Amino acid sequence: MSDKKADAALEVWIDQDLCTGDGICVQYAPEVFELDIDGLAYVKGDDDELRQSPGATVPVPLALLRDVADSARECPGDCIHVRRVADRVEVYGPDAE
Ligand code: SF4
């Protein structure tokens, strides 16, 4: 049971090198994405702190999965990556199958 839950857990990260700063992700899911003063989007945790180290991830809250997945689909920079925590396989984003 707990294994199943872990399999379903997702996390998200942004490749800032490709971010255009348009803020579409922030419109979809302001709980998870935020534009910093450098004009680029970062993921943020439930403590409201931005994770700014390259490749840093935050968990995707289940209630926000659709919004986060839509962000990854619509992101003009193709730089939002949503992957399974268990095996790091990307499920939404430019590297998803
Ligand atoms: S949608 Fe993509 S390109 Fe636009 S601000 Fe968010 S991460 Fe950057």
Ligand 1 atom with minimal separation from the 24 CA: 1
Ligand 1 atom 2: the closest Cα is on which residue? 75
The stretch 51-76 carries a mean pLDDT of: 97
Give residue 4 CA to ligand 1 midpoint distance, Å. 31
Q: Is the pLDDT of residue 92 over 70?
A: yes
pLDDT tens digit sequence for 3-40: 444 458 999 999 999 999 999 999 999 999 999 999 99
CA–CA dist 70, 24 (Å, integer): 10
Helix H or strand E segment including 92: strand 90-92
Give residue 46 CA to ligand 1 midpoint distance, Å. 20
Distance of CA 65 to the CA centre of its chain: 10
Helix H or strand E segment including 68: helix 65-74
Supply 31's token pair: 């709980």
Domains of the chain: 2-92 (3.30.70.20)
Give exposure, 37-55, as e/b (b: 16+ Cβ within 10 Å): eeebbbbbeeeeeeeeeee
**DSSP 8-class letter at 77:** T
